[in-house]
Structure 1
Amino acid sequence: MRTLRTLGAAGAAVLLTASAATAAPSPPPAPRPQLTDAAVGRAVAALDGSIAEKMRRTGVPGVAVAVVHNGEVVYLKGFGLRRTGESAKVDPDSVFQLASVSKPVSSTVIAGALADPGAWDKPLAGSLAGFALKDPWVTSHVTPADLFSHRSGLPDHAGDLLEDLGYDRAYILDHLREEPLTPFRASYAYTNFGLTAAAEAVARGQGVSWQKLSEDTLFKPAGMTRTSTEFDAYAKAPDRAWGHVRNPDGTWSPRYVRDADAQTPAGGASSTARDMSRWLRLHLDTGSLDGKRIVPADALARTYQPEIVSQAVTGRGTPQFYGLGWNVSYDDAGRLRLSHSGGFALGVNSNVTMLPLERLGIVVLTNGAPVGLADSVALDFFDTAQYGKPTTDWLPLVAASYAQTFSVGRSETDYAHPPAGAKPARDSAAYTGTYDNPYYGKATVTAAGDGALTLSLGPKPMRFPLTHYDGDTFSFETTGENAVGRTGVFFTDGKLRVEYLDENHLGTFTRQ
């Protein structure tokens, strides 16, 4: 899942908070020390207009929103279309992919399954077969808390490119041992598959699958009847909201379907606004719902604790933290603020934000690739509740943050235009053959009758036509959730190096 690398967690929330700090008036309006029913009511009343205006400005096809306050669902609506070109409307029971909002849902599951807050700190110690990190000492000491708070030392988004190439969860978790590590518990880097490893270990410790653990611990007890951790459930839902991407002319199309089963606990859940309102109610009532205790209060509260600094200083001079599946911050009145965003470049954006002290929360689900709508609706809502009106126009600020994120990893070389005096390629036989890599597996280069080269990667495999650039340098167009446009392929001394796979120096293949 492409989850906002420069924004840090999750999507969007860490840099979002920083952007919020930078963009808010200086000094900002004084926040209300306690949110009255009237203040929340005004924010709720403004939602219809806020959502409609942002849908008009962005063109995002469909949105569903739920707001919970003092144990009640005070807003629950759908807007727009489930799929462009069709007439079916989004409603509170339309099924959306959650992307990284799956993370706080998963930490809720584990809080309920483990019950004891201290269980987060017990080392996995071989409980997940095939999982290890590069340093044996770290492997023997890493805990679910380390992996859920992204402080294991794994590099940013470790394993995501393996998923893009078609490798399954077992292969990816088994190969995280090849990734270089930064200092354990002293560095923050957002990793979908680190979190997935922790969730899988907990589920196996309970003797069940992750879906079974989620159903038994959270979904069934909370009455979340349309929520699943399996892609198949989303794909077969008759009222699903299809993911959309924006076309160059500004229209939106459902061109891709994102199957995130490999990293389900981190990004593969699906749900509805109605189900998510029940999850919000559970959180805002300290783990109870409709008078029934579902998650122990102290176990749930543990997920809210800051575990690692995710951003040392924001525009307001305050740090941002990551907890257990949550972005953790404190507002101008010193209130705990929990949030998480989720985004698939292939067509999804979501946000959840809560002020537990005020028993107030919002969830925004959309079926469009991240352009800022989900986050800016939530930011506007809380601004209006706290300050009486939005403190700034959030939409372009959030959109710029997403645009910056999706530009990360793009090559500085314009492979579409070879340099003047480019050297010709050698005969195709100089490049063809099978190459091996301990992390990415086998790569094969083949030549057609006209000498055109194709690079094959991954288990299926995926085939990428190579375009000559200069001498022994070629390029191809990347695909998938983490696509970065054209990337370079360099042949030298019996080796092949793929530029976009080499961020952590793992992208060199050796000819067999």
Structure 2
Amino acid sequence: MRKLICFLSFILLCTGTTKLNAQPTFIKDSLNTYIEQGMQDWNIPGLAIAIIKDGKIIVMKGFGVRDVTTKAPVDENTLFMIASNSKLFTATSLAQLAYDHKLSLNDKIIKYFPDFQLYDSAVTKMVTIHDMLSHHLGTKTFQGDFSFWDSKNSRHEIMYKMRYLKPSGTFRQDFGYCNSCFLTAGEIIPKVTGKPWEVYVYDSLIQPLGMEHTQTLGYGISRMPNAAKPHTTAFAGKLQLLPYDQVDNLGPAGSLLSCVSDLSKWLMMQLDSGRYNGKRIVPWEVLRTTRDMATIISSRKRGDSHFSGYGLGIFETDYHGKQIFWHTGGAFGFVTNTCFVPEENLGITILTNQDNQDFFELLRYQILNAYLKLPFENLSKTVLPGFLDEETREIKKIDGWKDRIKGNTPPLPLKSYTGQYENTLYGTITISEERNNPGNLLIKFNSHQNLLATLQYLDNDEWLLTYNNPAFGVFTTSFLTKNNTVTGIPIKASDFVEFDPYLFIKK
């Protein structure tokens, strides 16, 4: 749900009437050092950044490495998975189709998918494209993502399974960030254009903007010559290489690959009312539709903000008297952001290839503070100690679990725990004895391509669950039993995927 290091090549562009010496002191004199120190402190292999001010590129640089093994450097064209920063591309496309009278954002989903169902039949009849683009279902943030993220489910199968997402909130009242909602909205595009989402977005936005490196699907990223590799320090405290996510099935919610040289063009268009290099890409009315607040997240003062909300594919808030639009994106091994401040004619994008860090957002605020002429405070150094303390506690907890692996015998014979288990939303998992490690159990997640987890018995009916993909995490769990018969098992994954555990019932 949800959720940069070393040094390297960079490009500093300064053209036209925007002079480098007109920029804030932090941007001119301290940005490079701040980033390099932050990457070291937060253990980030690679970072790319672009800053746009008054229609000019002020900074466009790559730092660190895209691959810790080859030491291949990050540059302005290095591709990162930008994940949920894809959402504004989807929302803009649908707003354009509405502007062209090809559809209405108030069209019911069942107009295009008559068999579509949600948990509540009344909501099924009412839910619109606009609802889907503004996270209005009332579900929890990231709900369903453990079933959908990196899964073998097709887009159609994900939409079908949305009927099993039981809301905890109220339709059109409570905000719950929902990736499957954006998928559903995006799948209306081929219904009205005859083009798949990935083709329409490319033809209508990517290609006209000249975003020549950007890909709408992540398939084949491992073979792309200038793609950053994903890393994490989560659950281990040390840098680990991760497999690339495979989320093309959730394409409209988050499958784009891009780089700062391309995203700078996207931000310039946002800041020039839909124009880029003097050419109209989308009408201003389309951008304004995406920015109109559709969901109130908070209207109470919090720190320097008085309100926050969500438009269509974009967050918005006030910050020291300025209206800020932004979105973040999180895929395993990548966290990224895009941000624009129309009143300041300022755009920022930051892409990183390590997902367990806050620096990518702290850097954004550090840049905002500089342009808004706020007193300097080193946000990275302020937040880092708390982050490291929390990380230390997490690792200590996991080490404590591992210390309890002493060859104890579970209360029931090992074969009692094996077999197939089912969760209505997810599907099935298979638990078997691990061949090479007697006494351990192996979970195969049948709705995922290559996801496995090991169960090692601890004591007191408790087992240690360790995924083969480190990003999914390390947790403890206990089998449910009745009359010495195993009936089920709760399974948890990283909060980066989904917050709540899944209960699997033994078949």
TM-score (norm 1): 0.82
Q: Which moved more, 1:99-108 or 1:348-357?
A: 99-108
What SS class does the counterpart of residue 293 from structure 2 fall into? coil
Alignment match, 1:45 = 28
What SS class does the counterpart of residue 112 from structure 2 fall into? coil
Judged with a 3 Å threshold, the aligned counterparts in structure 2 of structure 1 residues 402 and 132 are, in CA distance, closer, same or farther, namely: farther
Q: Distance in 2 between matches of 1:453 and 1:365?
A: 38
Q: Distance in 1 between matches of 2:150 and 2:245?
A: 13
* Alignment match of 1:326 (pick from 297, 309, 314): 314
Q: Distance in 2 between matches of 1:362 and 1:52?
A: 18
1:90 equivalent to 2:90? Answer no
Q: Distance in 1 between matches of 2:37 and 2:152?
A: 41
Alignment match, 2:42 = 58
Alignment match, 2:94 = 110
Query: What is the identity, as a one-letter code, of the residue corresponding to 1:320?
Result: S
1:158 equivalent to 2:147? Answer no
Query: What is the identity, as a one-letter code, of the residue corresponding to 1:45?
Result: K
Q: Distance in 2 between matches of 1:430 and 1:236?
A: 44
Query: What is the identity, as a one-letter code, of the residue corresponding to 2:230?
Result: G
Q: Distance in 1 between matches of 2:393 and 2:90?
A: 29
1:497 equivalent to 2:489? Answer yes
Contact 1:84 1:253 in 2 (8 A): no
Judged with a 3 Å threshold, the aligned counterparts in structure 2 of structure 1 residues 337 and 461 are, in CA distance, closer, same or farther, namely: closer
Deviations along 1:360-402, one digit per CA (max 9) or x if unpaired, are: 1111112222412221221111111112553452454388579
Q: Which moved more, 1:295-304 or 1:44-53?
A: 44-53
Alignment match, 1:20 = none
Q: Distance in 2 between matches of 1:80 and 1:332?
A: 32
What SS class does the counterpart of residue 442 from structure 2 fall into? strand
Q: Which moved more, 1:355-364 or 1:145-154?
A: 145-154
Identity of aligned residues (%): 25
Alignment of 1:80-479 (within 5 A): 80-115=64-99, 119-128=104-113, 131-164=116-149, 166-170=151-155, 171-181=157-167, 182-232=169-219, 234-246=221-233, 252-313=239-300, 314-316=302-304, 318-333=306-321, 335-344=322-331, 346-387=332-373, 389-394=375-380, 396-397=382-383, 416=402, 424-447=410-433, 452-459=440-447, 460=449, 462-470=451-459, 473-478=462-467
Q: Distance in 1 between matches of 2:413 and 2:40?
A: 54
Query: What is the identity, as a one-letter code, of the residue corresponding to 1:319?
Result: F
Query: What is the identity, as a one-letter code, of the residue corresponding to 2:28?
Result: A
What SS class does the counterpart of residue 496 from structure 1 fall into? strand
Contact 1:435 1:496 in 2 (8 A): yes
Judged with a 3 Å threshold, the aligned counterparts in structure 2 of structure 1 residues 456 and 84 are, in CA distance, closer, same or farther, namely: closer
Q: Which moved more, 1:248-257 or 1:152-161?
A: 248-257
Query: What is the identity, as a one-letter code, of the residue corresponding to 2:426?
Result: Y
Deviations along 1:232-287, one digit per CA (max 9) or x if unpaired, are: 25333211122222389976453432222232222221111111011011100111
Contact 2:26 2:370 in 1 (8 A): yes
Q: What's the RMSD between the two structures over aligned residues?
A: 3.6
Contact 2:142 2:499 in 1 (8 A): no
Following superposition, the deviation at residue 106 of structure 1 comes to: 2.8
Q: With a CA cutoff of 8 Å and minimum separation of 6, indicate the structure with the bigger relative contact order.
A: 1
Alignment match, 1:19 = none
Q: Which moved more, 1:350-359 or 1:195-204?
A: 195-204
Q: Which moved more, 1:272-281 or 1:439-448?
A: 439-448
Judged with a 3 Å threshold, the aligned counterparts in structure 2 of structure 1 residues 296 and 130 are, in CA distance, closer, same or farther, namely: same
Alignment match, 1:16 = none
Contact 2:305 2:317 in 1 (8 A): no
Contact 1:341 1:352 in 2 (8 A): yes
TM-score (norm 2): 0.82
Alignment match, 1:3 = 2
Segments of structure 1 that go 5 or more residues without pairing to the other structure are: 5-34
Deviations along 1:300-337, one digit per CA (max 9) or x if unpaired, are: 1111122212245323462211111111001222x321
Following superposition, the deviation at residue 403 of structure 1 comes to: 9.1
Segments of structure 2 that go 5 or more residues without pairing to the other structure are: 4-17
What SS class does the counterpart of residue 303 from structure 1 fall into? helix
What SS class does the counterpart of residue 105 from structure 2 fall into? helix
Judged with a 3 Å threshold, the aligned counterparts in structure 2 of structure 1 residues 178 and 215 are, in CA distance, closer, same or farther, namely: same
Contact 1:376 1:395 in 2 (8 A): no
Q: Which moved more, 1:394-403 or 1:203-212?
A: 394-403
Following superposition, the deviation at residue 297 of structure 1 comes to: 0.6
What SS class does the counterpart of residue 343 from structure 2 fall into? helix
Contact 1:455 1:465 in 2 (8 A): yes
Q: Distance in 1 between matches of 2:165 and 2:281?
A: 38
How many aligned positions are there?
477
What SS class does the counterpart of residue 120 from structure 1 fall into? coil
Contact 1:308 1:322 in 2 (8 A): yes
